């Protein structure tokens, strides 16, 4: 047994698999525990062998970025080890996710709850963007809620670092309902603004308790977006007609964005205090400066929202996931 | 076919005083042939003897008339003095032809009036139903419009969502009061649309919780709560750089970069941060600790410290 194998065996011994909690296309998730401390964890066993090229891309992406990112609002990768031919990722265990909470009609959201969740999402996302990582799959299902009310961004299976100038990225990312129009139009060069769009959709969903822009196909998604927010014109969105899949759906709708959204330079911190402008972030608005202003705008008490989040009953969900 | 044969043969029979005609045959309605006959007789008599109470001076003569009619009917039904009865009918018919015709007209007029009234009532009922349906449709549309309006307002206005919802709820209540008067208290509850109802509950719970003792005063919002050094004292970010690599991207002749919102300055910032981030790390620092690497030599994250810095 060489040093690597011994090291791996030591790692493996630290974690105990307990119960299967879910199965995805490329991984099986178990609930587990750390032997030494009794701390709960989730063990994601990556299925190897069904892919010709070895490991699945998303597993590699997940390890690659989670090894680097340590933040209060980003899920923590505790350990990685291999067993036989499988790769195992040991992740923090979180009881619930925002999708479950949105769907549970018995829970009433206070404005403070939503503000707190949005603030935590933005903190986590800002941390990713600060480290030049695009998440590219933000949706309520991927925002996990810990039993103490903390929100953590999870599932970095589609994440990548910012592309160097002139390098293409794929546009087939982000779950459709949360996908921004530039990706639907097939743009291969985009920025951190794509994640902000997703957060805007999540915000609207938290307010409405139902998905805000639910398209049935990629084209229908564009139609849905334009029906809700108006069809962009050449002035709103220069060079749009150069997009790869460019085809403007009919009928067109007049813009419903507040005038202020069209002139990002005139926006100030006071103006973004309102709730709704977040959902109306158009492309071309500088995502980063927008995000910073968002984070510096005043918010309601978080500890209050946390105390409410703690009241959510997680014990039920933990036993029967 | 056999009926025709039967009629043809029977009509030649001298036994029958009555001429049988095919037209006079009718399907049997009642099981008892006696009843069937009585109905036929009375139907025939009703055509002739149609005098009314108004046609007589006093009740007595009207009753006498009714008795006579009953008499004739009885005779015809039971085949008593048929010949004589028929002559009675004929004489009566001749004597009262004018009055009979008048009464017939009257009856027809009455029947017509009844029919007209019925028609009128039916139309009225239909109109009422249509109006009701229209009202309901209007109300539904109004409700839908309102909901859309709320969503639109939530989308576009800068106002507080609660204020928007509360305002439109107040409008809805006002409208309902004008439409249906005051006698419809359950309408409001039925109107509790979607999240509007939730918000009402929510507002209530908020006010009660504020009165309660566990009310926590607002803390100031802290945008960033992690320990973060952005290195921004180590570099000055310029508007543009003489960058050969990104030149094509910046010119962007086909506009594909602009369309997708790619930002060159993100790449520049990344390059700058990467360049300055490790400047304060001393070369070869910490090597001594790593020399005696054992399996137990872990950093705070549980990673084994390898022999690199």
Residue A294 has pLDDT above 90, yes or no: no
* pLDDT band (50, 70, 90) for residue B39: confident
What integer pLDDT is reported at residue A57 of this predicted model? 80
* Across B61-66, average pLDDT: 89
What are the two backbone dihedrals, phi and then psi, of residue A40, each rounded to the nearest 5 degrees? -75, 150
* pLDDT band (50, 70, 90) for residue A273: very low
CA dihedral B274, B277, B283, B289 (to 10 degrees): -110
Q: In chain A, which among 174-213 make CB contacts under 8 A with chain B?
A: 182, 185, 187-194, 204, 207-209
Q: In chain A, which among 22-61 make CB contacts under 8 A with chain B?
A: none
Alpha carbon distance A287, A190 (integer Å): 11
pLDDT: which is higher, A265 or B162 = B162
Question: Of A138-142, B91-95, B171-175, which one has max mean pLDDT?
Answer: A138-142
Q: Alpha helices, DSSP H only, in chain A?
A: 3-13, 57-66, 98-103, 111-130, 181-184, 193-208, 218-229, 259-262, 287-296, 302-311, 315-319
What integer pLDDT is reported at residue B11 of this predicted model? 52
The mean-pLDDT minimum among A265-279, B22-36, B108-122, B258-272 falls in: A265-279
What integer pLDDT is reported at residue A304 of this predicted model? 45
Residue B23 has pLDDT above 80, yes or no: no
* Across A15-28, average pLDDT: 84
A243–B260: do the CB atoms touch at under 8 Å?
yes
Q: Would you state the structure tokens that stand for residue A238, as one six-digit string?
A: 């220069």
Packing angle, helices A287-296 and A193-208, rounded to 10: 40
DSSP states along A122-187? HHHHHHHHHTTEE-----GGGEEE-TTS-EEE---TT-EEPPPTT----S--S-GGG--HHHHTT-
B221–A298: do the CB atoms touch at under 8 Å?
yes
What integer pLDDT is reported at residue B130 of this predicted model? 93
Question: A-chain residues within 8 Å CB-CB of B243?
Answer: 165
* Across B170-182, average pLDDT: 66
pLDDT: which is higher, B54 or A129 = A129
A207–B154: do the CB atoms touch at under 8 Å?
yes
* pLDDT band (50, 70, 90) for residue A198: very high
What integer pLDDT is reported at residue A6 of this predicted model? 87
* pLDDT band (50, 70, 90) for residue B243: confident
Nearest by CB to B261, which of A110, A166, A283?
A: A283
Alpha carbon distance A220, A225 (integer Å): 9
* Across B44-51, average pLDDT: 84
pLDDT: which is higher, A248 or A45 = A45
What integer pLDDT is reported at residue B181 of this predicted model? 46
Q: Is the predicted ipTM greater than 0.90, yes or no?
A: no
* pLDDT band (50, 70, 90) for residue A136: very high
Residue A260 has pLDDT above 90, yes or no: no
Nearest by CB to A284, which of B195, B220, B261?
A: B261
* Closest-CA distance of chain A to residue B246, Å: 5
Task: Mark the binding-site residues of A for ATP, compressed into ranges.
Answer: 45
* pLDDT band (50, 70, 90) for residue B7: low
* Closest-CA distance of chain B to residue A52, Å: 31
Question: B-chain residues within 8 Å CB-CB of A70?
Answer: 301
B155–A271: do the CB atoms touch at under 8 Å?
no
Q: Which of B138, B212, B39 is nearest to A304 (CA)?
A: B212
Residues of A labelled catalytic = 137
- Distances in Å between the alpha carbon of B3 and those of B32, B40, B174? 21, 21, 77
The mean-pLDDT minimum among A187-196, A283-292, B269-278 falls in: A283-292
* Across A58-76, average pLDDT: 90
Share of chain A above pLDDT 70, in %: 78
Question: B-chain residues within 8 Å CB-CB of A276?
Answer: 154-158, 161
Alpha carbon distance A229, A221 (integer Å): 12
User: Which residue has tokens 């990225």?
Assistant: A169
Q: In chain B, which among 269-288 make CB contacts under 8 A with chain A?
A: 270, 273
Residue B47 has pLDDT above 60, yes or no: yes
* Across B164-183, average pLDDT: 68
- Does residue A108 sit at the B interface (CB-CB below 8 Å)? yes
B255–A238: do the CB atoms touch at under 8 Å?
yes
Q: Would you state the structure tokens that stand for residue A212, as one six-digit string?
A: 């805000």
Nearest by CB to B224, which of A191, A193, A295?
A: A295
pLDDT one-digit tens code per residue, B263-304: 888 888 898 988 888 888 787 776 665 444 444 444 555 454
A71–B304: do the CB atoms touch at under 8 Å?
no
What are the two backbone dihedrals, phi and then psi, of residue A233, each rounded to the nearest 5 degrees? -100, 175
Question: A-chain residues within 8 Å CB-CB of B163?
Answer: none
Where residue A104 falls (left for φ over 0; alpha for ψ -120 to 50; beta otherwise) is beta
Question: B-chain residues within 8 Å CB-CB of A258?
Answer: 156-158
The mean-pLDDT minimum among A38-52, A207-221, B116-130 falls in: A38-52
Residue B51 has pLDDT above 70, yes or no: yes
- Backbone CA torsion sign across A226, A227, A233, A236: negative
Q: In chain A, which among 222-281 make CB contacts under 8 A with chain B?
A: 228-229, 237-244, 256-258, 271, 274-277, 279-280
Among chain B residues, CA nearest to A193: B261
User: Which residue has tokens 């709320």?
Assistant: B150
Nearest by CB to A242, which of B155, B158, B254?
A: B254
What integer pLDDT is reported at residue B19 of this predicted model? 66
Question: Of A103-112, A191-200, B216-225, B246-255, which one has max mean pLDDT?
Answer: A191-200
Nearest by CB to B245, which of A70, A165, A194?
A: A165
Question: B-chain residues within 8 Å CB-CB of A241?
Answer: 255, 259
Among chain A residues, CA nearest to B270: A132
Mean pLDDT of all residues in chain A? 79
A301–B217: do the CB atoms touch at under 8 Å?
yes
Exposure string of B88-127, with b = 16+ CB inside 10 Å and e = fewer, is: ebeebeeebeeebeebeeeeeeeeeeeeeeeeeeeeeeee
B158–A271: do the CB atoms touch at under 8 Å?
yes
Q: Which of A119, A267, A126, A124 is nearest to A192 (CA)?
A: A126
Antiparallel, parallel or unpaired: β A27-34 and A96-97: unpaired
Residue B82 has pLDDT above 80, yes or no: yes
pLDDT: which is higher, B87 or A305 = B87
* pLDDT band (50, 70, 90) for residue B6: low
What integer pLDDT is reported at residue A52 of this predicted model? 65
């Amino acid at each position: 047994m060489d040093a690597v194998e011994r090291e791996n065996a030591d790692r493996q011994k630290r974690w105990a698999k307990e119960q299967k909690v879910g199965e995805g296309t490329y991984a099986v998730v178990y609930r587990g525990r750390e032997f030494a401390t009794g701390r709960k964890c989730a063990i994601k066993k990556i299925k190897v062998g069904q892919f010709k090229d070895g490991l699945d891309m998303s597993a590699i992406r997940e390890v690659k970025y989670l090894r680097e990112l340590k933040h209060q609002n980003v899920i923590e990768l505790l350990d990685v080890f291999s067993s036989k031919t499988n790769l195992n990722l040991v992740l923090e265990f979180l009881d619930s996710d925002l999708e479950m909470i949105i769907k549970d009609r018995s829970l009433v959201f206070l404005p403070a709850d939503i503000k707190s969740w949005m603030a935590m999402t933005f903190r986590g996302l800002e941390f990713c963007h600060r480290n030049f990582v695009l998440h590219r799959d933000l949706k309520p299902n991927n925002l996990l809620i810990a039993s103490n009310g903390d929100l953590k961004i999870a599932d970095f299976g589609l994440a990548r670092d910012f592309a160097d100038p002139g390098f293409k990225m794929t546009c087939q990312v982000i779950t459709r309902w949360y996908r921004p129009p530039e990706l639907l139009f097939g743009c291969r060069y985009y920025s951190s603004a794509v994640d902000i769009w997703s957060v805007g959709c999540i915000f609207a969903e938290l307010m409405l308790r139902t998905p805000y822009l639910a398209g049935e196909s990629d084209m229908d998604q564009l139609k849905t977006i334009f029906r809700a927010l108006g069809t962009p014109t050449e002035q709103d969105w220069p060079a749009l007609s150069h997009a790869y899949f460019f085809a403007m759906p009919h009928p067109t709708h007049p813009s419903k964005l507040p005038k202020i959204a069209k002139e990002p330079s005139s926006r100030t911190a006071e103006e973004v205090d309102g709730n709704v402008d977040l959902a109306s972030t158009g492309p071309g608005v500088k995502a980063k400066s927008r995000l910073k202003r968002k984070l510096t705008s005043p918010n309601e008490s978080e500890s209050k929202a946390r105390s409410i989040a703690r009241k959510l009953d997680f014990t039920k969900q933990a036993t029967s996931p | 076919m056999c009926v025709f044969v039967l009629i043809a043969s029977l009509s030649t029979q001298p036994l029958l005083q009555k001429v049988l005609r095919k037209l006079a045959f009718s399907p049997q309605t009642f099981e008892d042939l006696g009843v069937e006959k009585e109905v036929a007789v009375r139907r025939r008599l009703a055509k002739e003897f149609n005098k009314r109470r108004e046609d007589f001076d006093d009740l007595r003569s009207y009753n006498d008339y009714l008795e006579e009619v009953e008499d004739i009917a009885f005779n015809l039904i039971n085949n008593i003095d048929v010949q004589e009865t028929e002559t009675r009918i004929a004489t009566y018919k001749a004597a009262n032809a004018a009055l009979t015709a008048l009464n017939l007209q009257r009856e027809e007029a009455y029947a017509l009036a009844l029919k007209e009234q019925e028609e009128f009532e039916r139309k009225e009922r239909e109109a009422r139903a249509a109006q009701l349906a229209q009202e309901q449709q209007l109300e539904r549309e109004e409700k839908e419009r309102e909901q859309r309006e709320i969503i639109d307002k939530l989308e576009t206005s800068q106002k507080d969502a609660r204020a928007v919802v509360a305002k439109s709820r107040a409008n809805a209540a006002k409208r309902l009061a004008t439409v249906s008067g005051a006698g419809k208290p359950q309408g409001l509850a039925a109107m509790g649309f979607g999240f509007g109802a939730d918000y009402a509950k929510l507002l209530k719970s908020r006010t009660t919780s504020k009165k309660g003792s566990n009310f926590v005063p607002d803390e100031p919002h802290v945008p960033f709560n992690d320990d973060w050094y952005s290195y921004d004292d180590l570099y000055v970010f310029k508007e543009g750089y003489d960058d050969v690599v990104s030149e094509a991207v910046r010119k962007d002749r086909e506009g594909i970069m602009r369309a997708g919102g790619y930002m060159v300055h993100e790449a520049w910032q990344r390059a700058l941060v990467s360049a300055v981030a490790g400047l304060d790390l001393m070369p070869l620092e910490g090597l001594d600790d790593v020399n005696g690497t054992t399996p137990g030599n872990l950093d705070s994250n549980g990673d084994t410290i390898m022999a690199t810095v």
